[in-house]
Amino acid sequence: MVKAIEWKDGKVIMLDQSKLPVEVVFIDCTNYKIVAEGIKKLWIRGAPAIGIATAMGIALGAQDIAAKNYKEFIKGLEPIFNTLLETRPTAVNIKWAVERIKKLLKEKKGESADRLKELLIEEAKKIHEEDIEVNKAIGRWGAQFIKDGDTILTHCNAGSLATGGYGTATAPMLVAIEQGKRIQVIADETRPVLQGARLTAWELMQAGVPVTLITDNSAGALMKKGEINLAIVGTDRTVRNGDVANKIGTYSVAVLCKEHKIPFYVAAPLSSIDFSITTGDKIPIEERDSHEVTHIFGTCRIAPADVKVRNMAFDVTPAKYITAIITEKGAFRPKDLKKLMKKEINLDGLRL
Ligand code: MRU
């Protein structure tokens, strides 16, 4: 399984996903500013992966803080937190990672700067390892929705490249295969940055999963022909009422699924659920450079120079289109997320 990110020899090693699948290039990040640049420029992307990158970026930045005591050390972390928080607004995992680290630092109040530096490295590695386990649990809960012979549509990349190393939307597919089910995956190419074509198709082929690439505008026609049995996508932020932000185009897929009575599932680690926001319209949506739309691979222009462009990186799928949200603690109907927040649901084992 390909690893998007790793902490190695005091550095953060990132696979530069912006170059895949043409080139496989790893970048050595030697300071937190390079990590932040990597998140902004999509060398690393996908909500859980950028959460891990944030934790590793903080650990990396912390090593260079010259502080005599706890207070000075915390002060030195502020610009690091802020730089990472400003990279991308939609995926809540960046904020989640910063908050988790702030909580740890509070618990360790009074420790020496040297000890805190060690603890931040340990915590970043722990976040990475936990993510892989979380993904595997999502896979086990999600595989129940896949039958032998199913064809599954996915959008963007919520695979191993977007996470610590197993994927969220792809996890139920991998577990279904382990269970002996024969499945096919259809990957939407996912304009404008082509995460489906460049990343999902690439990583599924590497993992030996049968995958067919389609243009984004083909999904409806295939559904009408009865060639898609279910859809599974990832999420950047899921909110209290069950609305889900994910890669632009996810909403269209969900509406098409409803029209064709095809179940639409969202694989959502708890780290991507934001209970502080009530409804999807309050999720900040990232708007990216027009160049991503007017050019392919940054160099080949495919639109008139100076054409006006709108490049929203994400959209929000209302809860009513979602059959279930698959977390590491079970699969929930979107309306039951509120109960999950209030802990009214036994977290170990709710099934639909
Ligand atoms: O812009 P990207 O490539 O970071 O968008 C990624 C997605 O939309 C993924 O589906 C989402 O982050 C979930 S990844 C498990």
- Tell me which residues have their CB closer than 6 angstroms to ligand 1: 45-48, 91, 156, 158, 162-163, 168, 195, 234-236, 246-247, 313
- Give the residue numbers spanning the domain of 77: 5-135
Q: Assign 298 a pLDDT band (cuts: 50, 70, 90).
A: confident
110 and 238 fall within a common domain? no
Residues 268 and 314 in one domain: yes
* Active-site option among 131, 188, 236, 243: 236
* pLDDT for residue 318: 98
Residue nearest to atom 6 of ligand 1 (CA): 46
Which pLDDT tens digit goes with each residue over 23-56?
999 999 999 999 999 999 999 999 999 999 999 9
Dist. CA 95 → ligand 1 center (Å): 15
Determine the residue of 157, 265, 274, 326 to mutate for testing ligand 1's pocket, defined as the one with the most ligand atoms within 8 A of the Cβ atom.
Answer: 157
Q: Indicate the number of domains in the chain.
A: 2
**Cα separation of 83 and 85, whole Å?**
6
Clarify whether residues 170 and 62 are in a common domain.
no
In angstroms, the CA 199 to CA 247 distance is 14
Return d(Cα 240, Cα 17) in angstroms, integer. 31
Q: What is the pLDDT of residues 278-296, one digit of tens each?
A: 999 999 999 999 999 999 9
Q: pLDDT tens for residues 135-175?
A: 999 999 999 999 999 999 999 999 999 999 999 999 999 99
Q: Are residues 125 and 152 in the same domain?
A: no
Q: Which atom of ligand 1 is nearest to the CA of 91?
A: 12
Q: How far is the CA of 235 from the centre of ligand 1 (A)?
A: 7
* Model confidence band, residue 1 (pLDDT cutoffs 50, 70, 90): confident
Domain-located, residue 89: yes
Q: Do 205 and 114 share a structural domain?
A: no
Instruction: Provide, rounded to the nearest whole percent, the portion of the chain with pLDDT above 70.
Output: 97
If you measure from the C-alpha of residue 65 to the centroid of ligand 1, how many angstroms do you get, rounded to a whole number? 32
- Closest protein CA for atom 10 of ligand 1: 234
Q: Are 105 and 224 in the same domain?
A: no
Helices then strands, counting H and E runs in the chain, come out as 12, 16
**What is the mean predicted confidence (pLDDT) over 175-189?**
98
Are 32 and 126 within one domain?
yes
pLDDT at 103 over 90: yes
Which residue's CA lies nearest to atom 8 of ligand 1? 247
The verdict on whether 236 is a catalytic residue reads yes
Closest CA to 235 of 171, 158, 153: 158
Largest CA distance in the chain: 67
